Structure 1
Amino acid sequence: MHRVTLPPIGTFRAWRDAARSFLAANVPPEQILWGDHATAPDLFSDDSPPSGGGAVSVPRSFIQMAETVVWHSDPERFAHLYAFLWRLRETPHRNLMSDRGDRDLARLRRMEKNVRRCQHKMKAFVRFREIGRPGAARRSFAAWFEPTHHIVEPTADFFVRRFGDMDWRILTPDVSAVFEQGKLSFSEGHAKPDLPEDASEALWITYFQNIFNPARLKVQAMQSEMPKKYWKNLPEAAYIPRMIAEAPMRARAMAEAAPTLPPARVEQLKAQLASCKSAWSGPSEALPKAIRSCTRCPLHCNATQAVLGEGPAQADLMIVGEQPGEMEDLSGRPFVGPAGQLFDQAAAKAELDRETAYVTNAVKHFKFSVRGKRRIHQRSDVSEIEHCRWWLDAEIATVRPKLILAMGATAARSLTGKETGLHARRGTIETGRAGLPVLITFHPAYLLRLSEPEVRKQAEAQFTQDLALAATFVAPDKAPAHSDHLQAFTQEAPSPRAP
């Protein structure tokens, strides 16, 4: 049986050299007793190092883990590391070091995490007090800290980088770090010293109290990040209970003292908010001119003109498309291009008279991108749809139809607030934003894009059926004789036309 006693300073190097010797000599874990300076001696163990053996290859990922785990306070940490290292000889390094289900590796990873957390606490909770003589060439400071693990040696470099222009010492019960004249050294543990008061400490406490926000106080979260075990060595901790007790009163005082907007500014904000709402209040005869001069969104910059709706001013049916195409942009009339021609053909089959309906678009300007000499249609975005809803709502208020036919996703969004699931919603009647019934169907341009004949034929039949449903809804007495299911529908759904 071999015994290894590792020193409190330079622990990792000592463990690494011993583990390398034992591994090269093929000494199994159960034949080694690992300990540190606090471990009781064993009468039957041999302190002499093993001899013989060859080169040893150790994966870098294990070394990185061991460099942290050796500073854990668990007395079995050295044995656990060597036992896992022994297993690495028989298992491919990559497989074992990445096996999250391995119990031994999981234990070492937890120990590694605990050590790193303790290092973080040391960096956050060490409080220096000045101990140097006034007028000395280098200022000198000292701090007392009680870590959970043996982390002074691996953490000292952080303080060297941060406080390299002064002398300091961090004293702990285990190992103390001393930095003097630019050189770092370590010594064994130290009893808690009687450090003098520090004039800068009062300034720090004042700052700590002023950055405390009582409205965001979460005691459990604070104690999780700042455990009570460290409070006794933190000068500001003496004020924490009082700040917690006074937090509700201070939060109420902050709310009462919060600044308010002056009345003039409030009225300006209300006016700006009202200007963004869709609420046309002008006379109906002025609506066409207002739409033609619209600059509410950037689409007017490139389009030829705004395309107005057309049809009877008091139509029972309003038909809403998505936006003008190139032919509509040039002519100034809705649904005169290929999509409009397909609509007219389907309307004739469904016995829907377009001349009796009010036809318009959700977006009034043509949106496109230029490719060579062609203008390619582009879909309107949400902002453009919402800006143009100002005009669509005004048209609805003027026409007051019994039913609105929404053709396409853009029209469905503008009228109902939802554009998804168009295929599932097609042929159904929903209540729109204006409180009127909205019949959802395809846009004729969608039918033109279908390349498979059977799919297009079926979609056109559904589109025609929807147009027939719209015609029957607004004029049940003129329903075709073969449309029994449409007659039954209109008998169950009376006209909701506004008075």
Structure 2
Amino acid sequence: MITARLDSEDDFDGWRAQCRGLLRLGAKPADVVWQIGAQRTDLFANPDSATEALPIAVPKGFAELSRSVICHNDPERFGLLFQLLIDLKAGRRHMGDRADPLLRKLDIMAKTVRRDIHKMRAFVRFRRIEDDGDEHFIAWFEPEHHIVRRNASFFVRRFAGMRWSILTPQLSIYWDKDKLLEGPAARKEDAPSEDAIEAQWKTYYGSTFNPARLKVKAMLKEMPKKYWHNMPETALVSELIQSARNRELAMIEKETTVPVADTLQSLQAEAARCRRCPLFGPATQIVFGEGPQRAKLMFVGEQPGDQEDMQGRPFVGPAGQIFDTALTQAGLDRSQAYVTNAVKHFKFKPEGKRRIHERPNVGEVNHCRWWLKREIEMVQPDLIVALGATAARSLTGRNVAITTIRGNILESEEGVPVLVTIHPSYLLRLPDADKAAQERRNFVADLKQARDRLEKLQIAAT
């Protein structure tokens, strides 16, 4: 037996290094005992790890799958991934084989991890304390899987200007406004149970609760009860559910009920009144997303253009025509997807009678991110395609170079996989006909990749 040691439960780099050494030794999965830290897991295992590295060429998608599965709590995950790696290199399995039982199992594990990541981002609640005259915000969370380190960068980006700690039974992370530190596992008693503004938060939550939109089963699916004890607003949930019908009737009597319309339509009406940035002034109208209320696939572009601004619909101008053609060639139905933009108003510079497109700046993208987040939450896509660098930045919170990241899968701040490709307007700007034709083929290939990945996710979910 061979002992392969890892520093932690989510040690992807260590697992990859061990796999290189194990492949060099010709080891089989049954020969390997995976050990976390210094604790021996098998009294008969050889204590010498396989540390000598051998470069590995892996198929596209394997590294992404592995990074997610490593964070799962299944103790067999390391061996399952190693088995898949061996079989891929021997040609006995293929990443595109949607019927392969091992791949399906690993895909489900990866999806479970991504969902846990999203739950942490949605349900962490910080409470404020005074620490040496400075504010310190502390949260308690109990993840199902080993996602804390992987999720840390999200909280650093989102709460960069405040000092905070997230305590979990696995480990703790601490941000001091300059660097991220890691600490030991904690107990729930180590976190404050309430803070001074908790009563105000409950008052706000209760006043914004809309009984006309209450769907208990949907709410419990998205916000399971096990998270409630960490969230101050959920102390009101039972009472609000019980009184929902009476409150709804009272709203009807006062004629203040929110119109019973499609939720996305209501959101669009709300967004039409947005004054978060000055782009609403010169634009003709807001150009909101369109598509089904629930769509497995979402496309996010940069911003509406001249024709979109006039018609009030996304991707209907010259770039939209290229987009529609490419979708058809890739075997995708636009009517089944949700199509929107990172920025909802047309930003332009007038030149005579023409309006010349101007790229939105970071502030404008950030102001509009709130609306995009709401769209993602309502549509609940399994996959998002980012059309261009602005869309990719809005979705992931970081700058990306399309030339280097194109075709790769990133992750949105909501935990949804994001496939990055070009914006179709890029194809309109290519003067060389041969290059333009090749780039169009590349664009269709990217959309086919999105189609294939979506089908794979749907099969894994069945």
TM-score using structure 1 length: 0.49
1:257-406 to 2 correspondence within 5 Å?
257-258=254-255
Instruction: Find out whether 1:229 has 2:226 as its counterpart.
Output: yes
Asked whether 1:126 is paired with 2:93, we answer no
Secondary structure of 1:22's aligned partner: helix
Amino acid at match of 2:208: I
Provide the alpha-carbon RMSD of the alignment: 2.2
Aligned to 1:110: 108
**Residues 206, 239 of structure 1: CA spacing in aligned structure 2 closer, same or farther, 3 A cutoff?**
same
SS of alignment partner, residue 67 of structure 1: helix
* Structure 2: distance between partners of 1:226 and 1:55: 43
**Structure 1 residues 8, 248: closer, same or farther in 2, change over 3 A?**
same
> How many angstroms does 1:38 deviate by?
9.9
Q: Which amino acid aligns with 1:127?
A: R
CA distance 1:133–1:49, change in 2 (3 Å): closer
What residue is the counterpart of 2:185 in the other structure?
A: 189
Which residue of structure 2 aligns with residue 8 of structure 1? 8
Relative to 1, partners in 2 of residues 1:40 and 1:245: Cα closer, same or farther, differing over 3 Å?
farther
> Which residue of the partner structure matches residue 240 of structure 2?
243
Q: 1:237 to 1:78 in 2, by over 3 A?
A: same
CA distance in structure 2 between the aligned counterparts of 1:115 and 1:235, rounded to whole angstroms: 25
Q: How many residues align?
A: 256
Q: How far apart are residue 187 of structure 1 and its match?
A: 2.3
Q: CA offset at residue 50 of structure 1? A: 2.9
Is 1:216 paired with 2:213? yes
Q: Corresponding residue for 1:101?
A: 99
**Separation (CA, whole Å) in 1 of partners of 2:25 and 2:56:** 10
In the alignment, residue 97 of structure 1 is paired with which amino acid?
Answer: M
Residue 134 of structure 1 deviates from its aligned partner by 7.2
- Asked if structure 1 preserves the Cα contact closer than 8 Å seen for 2:20 and 2:53, the reply is no
Query: How many angstroms does 1:122 deviate by?
Result: 0.2
Comparing 39-48 with 61-70, greater Cα deviation is found at: 39-48
Tell me the distance in 1 between the aligned counterparts of 2:38 and 2:117: 22
Q: Alpha-carbon deviation of 1:230?
A: 0.6
Q: Cα distance 1:54–1:171, how it changes in 2: closer, same or farther (>3 A)?
A: closer
What runs of 5+ residues in structure 2 fail to find an aligned partner? Answer: 258-462
Amino acid at match of 1:222: M
- What SS does the aligned partner of 1:122 have? helix
Report the residue type matching 2:45 in the other structure: S
Change (3 A) 1:259 1:127: closer
In the alignment, which residue of structure 2 is the partner of 1:454? none
Alignment TM-score, normalising by the size of structure 2: 0.52
CA apart distance, 1:65: 0.9
Q: What is the aligned partner in structure 2 of residue 149 from structure 1?
A: 145
**Alpha-carbon displacement from aligned partner over 1:244-264 (angstroms, at most 9, x marks no partner):** 00001111111111069xxxx
Conserved 8 A contact 2:127-2:137: yes
Alpha-carbon spacing, 1:126–1:52, altered in 2? closer, same or farther (3 Å): closer
Distance apart, 1:37 and its partner CA: 4.9
Deviations 1:57-104 (Å, cap 9, x if unpaired)? 123411111111111011111111111111111118xx7111110000
2:179 and 2:247 map into 1 onto residues whose CA distance is 48
Equivalents in 2 of 1:118, 1:151: separation in Å? Answer: 8
Alignment of 1:429-444 (within 5 A): none
Q: Which residue of structure 1 lines up, in the alignment, with residue 202 of structure 2?
A: 205
Contact kept, 8 Å, 2:8 with 2:37, in 1: the verdict is yes
Tell me how far apart the structure 1 counterparts of residues 52 and 182 of structure 2 sit (CA, whole Å): 33
User: Aligned equivalents of 2:18 and 2:79: distance in 1?
Assistant: 12
| Percent identical | 43
Instruction: Give the drift of 1:197.
Output: 2.9
CA 1:108–1:230 in structure 2 vs 1: closer, same or farther (change >3 Å)? Answer: same
Matches of 2:27 and 2:8, distance apart in 1: 24
**Structure 1 equivalent of residue 267 of structure 2:** none
1:87–1:177 Cα change, 3 Å: same
Alpha-carbon distance between aligned partners in 2 of 1:119 and 1:259, rounded to the nearest angstrom: 37
Asked if 1:158 is matched to 2:158, the reply is: no
Q: Which moved more, 1:206-215 or 1:239-248?
A: 206-215
Give unpaired runs (5+ residues) of structure 1. Answer: 261-499
Answer whether contact 2:164 2:176 (CA < 8 A) is retained.
yes
Q: Deviation digits for residues 114-153 of structure 1, max 9, x if unmatched? A: 00000000001101011233753xx321111011111100
**Contact preservation (8 Å) 2:2, 2:32:** yes
8 A Cα contact 1:35 1:78, kept in partner: no
Structure number with higher relative contact order (C-alpha < 8 Å, ≥ 6 residues apart)? 2
